[in-house]
Amino acid sequence: MVSASVGERAAEAECDLGWSVGMLMRNYKAHADPCVGDLPRGARGYQLLYTVVRKNIPNQLRLAEYLGIDRSVMPYVIDDLVEAGLVERQPDPADRRARKVVATPLGIEKFQQLEAQMARAERAVLGALELGEQDQFRWLLSRVARQAGDQATRTGRPKSPEEPEIGAHHG
């Protein structure tokens, strides 16, 4: 890959964030959707399966919050993956009313297959970046996404640009 000049990088940095995120998302969906097309609920089903395999989230409500899925919709998403034999609900030993969603052996096997396909799709999406830049981009994107998720969890919705930061001092 040829390094961009300082002027070229400055011009690229001036692009609109909303446009960039939108273009990236469209490109991501174009590459990722074919990988997960056979999975119940497609990309949303993959996100749920990824999360129950890779994360330790204690119950359905927290899972809905983490994934940004409305809690009234989450049971249907889970039901579809349960019906496919990919996940199951298990009672929480600490609170029998709560249910933890866990991957079944079939779900883990399916996830491993999909994970390899998704890795290829993601490499294609990030192909404009060197491998080290891809890692850095993922790290930065994850950091910004966690901030957005934390804000949405605290307030029940994303923060609008007019709202001050929590703990920010104005004067």
pTM for this prediction: 0.77
Is the pLDDT score of 2 beyond 60?
no
- pLDDT, position 141: 93
Go through the domains of the chain in sequence order and give each one's CATH number.
17-129 (1.10.10.10)
Query: Which residues sit opposite 101 in a β-bridge?
Result: 89
- pLDDT, position 110: 97
Question: Residue 9 has which token pair?
Answer: 């990088």
pLDDT (tens digit per residue) in 135-146: 999 999 999 998
Query: Which residues sit opposite 91 in a β-bridge?
Result: 99
